[in-house]
Chains A and B, each alone.
Chain A
Amino acid sequence: MGWFGRERSGASAPGVSRSVLLVLALIGIGLAVAPLAFGMFDRGPKGAQMMQDFKPFMTDARLNGFQQHIRDIDAGVRETDGPVAAKLAGPGAAGHARFDRRYPGFAQFQHDWAPIDADMTHLLDTIQANVGNYQAVVALPSFRLFPWFFVIPGVLLALLALAAALVRRTSSSIRWVIVALGISLVLAPVAFQMFQRAPKGGRMMSTFKPIETRQKVETMQGYFGTIAVGQGALRLEIVPALRHAGLDDAQIAQRFPRLVTLDTRWVGILNDLTPMIGAMSDNVDNYQAVAGLPPFPLFPWFFVVPGVLIAGLAFASGRRGRPSLAPATAAGPIPT
């Protein structure tokens, strides 16, 4: 006969078991309610959406492609500002000044490009440095499931405690079920490698904090406009001017390969970069929702601490109750 049976038998039940029951029920309720308190049912799906939207971009291959785009733009700008300018407007400072006057759209772009290049390269480096952290979070169970990892054991524990309190004669197996539940909670973070993955998720969230803001997205949108205008000047004014200066397309490609590379790759660059800006923009609110959750590195402990408490209380109370367990059972004293 079990320890809970002793509790319900009443006559010889010491207060400790009733208290333990109450504590276990409270822990269960606490676990079940925690996701509501943390807004997990709202934030979890948003986090899952964010991870899903980032997925196409969070690979080294894709990010290397973005880095290549930036290098292509940079090389095209430098070549246009150097040998192309000299070809079209003459050498030296005077020639360059003429070039700037003739092609003000490109001149403005060239002027703006250095800080854009630095910022975007830094952004891509930052994202790329977090590919591993992102993969670690993806390997965890979906954010959508997270609240249920608290609710299900919490409700189960509360129901078991309630059942134990209501049922007059219960098997000690209830106690062991509760011990097993506690151990499961302790083991869950180990099974999901949360101790390694959650801190990585925390680092990813910290790193993305200055990136996933409306202000940063608008900055990126502004960069896009600046680059588009500059590339437009290059494509619609400078390349035609080179043709007008007597060069055919093969000669232009031979003499100014970086300019031509940028020109021919531009649509591909747009195809690639705009969805990334879109994903950044679409997930500002989702990021903020996830950032509103408790820090990631604490998550394993949200399982371990209640798990240890539950298993420990159930186990220890049973051990404490064992000597006086038999007389308290409804079946009466065990004959000696």
Chain B
Amino acid sequence: MTLASRRTTAGLLGLALAAVAIALVVAPIGAPQAAGSKALNGTFRLTAGSYSAGKGHGTYFRMIYPGGKRYFPNPDSKARDKTFILGVPGTDGGLATGRFQPGPSPSFDAKGNARANKIIKPGVFTAIRFSVATLKKDPQSKKVVAVTSARVSGSRLTVNVPGYTAEWNGQYFNQGAPKPDGSGSPATGTYNAKTRRFVLTWTSKVSGGAFSGFTGYWHLEGTFSPR
């Protein structure tokens, strides 16, 4: 081995050692974030939706037409802007983790009005009541999904809610985050550990049925109540 090649080898070895050292130093910086992430078990108690100053507040959802350029107006919305569909907390007060929140059986009355009332109270959507539930088995894809779960890391809130299902006019529309097949992202938002106030948002594309191709935008806001 020549002197030059010995120097090159030594140099490369030094670089490798330096890289390992840097990795060892940097890794713990990220680690506390994962270690600091903790599960939230309880109910995300919802604040009723409202609309003012051109903005939605509290709990509401909007339906985005395929193509994403406009929102579906619900003439029955209480908001001035009818594309905001306001939610009122149901008998459970909101979205619970660690358990499913199905509606009664049958899910609909004879006119197609949804009867689920745990998460939100049924609201009127184009003359027929709609509601939401978290279902263990997605009626559209027939897949069994994971139960609702939530984690918080600092102020960042992440909620997996694959069984979230809108019910209307005798039909089910999965609005999970992620979707039952695992595609898409979980719901994300902010959480204040002191006040337990949270804001949670997600989008979920409708797959199948009359609104196939539409995307639901969900905005849940309120106070977390631990179990």
Contact = CB atoms under 8 A, between A and B. Distances in A.
B75 A228 contact: yes
Interface in A280-316: 281-282
Given A231-B127, A267-B112, A282 B65 contact: no
A270 B65 contact: no
B209 to A, nearest CB: 4
B209 A228 contact: no
Contacts of B44: none
A221 B65 contact: yes
A236 B210 contact: no
A214 B170 contact: no
Interface in B14-69: 65-67
B208 A282 contact: yes
A198 B213 CA distance: 33
A271 interface: yes
Contacts of B73: 225, 228-229
A167 B169 CA distance: 66
User: Does more than half of chain A's interface fall in helix, strand or loop, or is it mixed?
Assistant: helix
A271 B111 contact: yes
Contact of B213 (A221, A229, A233): A221
B155 interface: no
Given A221-B214, A236-B75, A278-B212, A271 B169 contact: yes
Contact of B126 (A221, A222, A232, A281): A232
Interface in B67-115: 67, 72-76, 82, 111-112
27 contacts: A214-B213, A218-B67, A218-B213, A221-B66, A221-B210, A228-B74, A228-B126, A229-B75, A231-B75, A231-B126, A232-B75, A232-B82, A232-B126, A235-B127, A236-B76, A267-B112, A270-B169, A271-B112, A271-B170, A274-B169, A278-B171, A278-B208, A278-B209, A278-B210, A281-B208, A281-B210, A281-B213
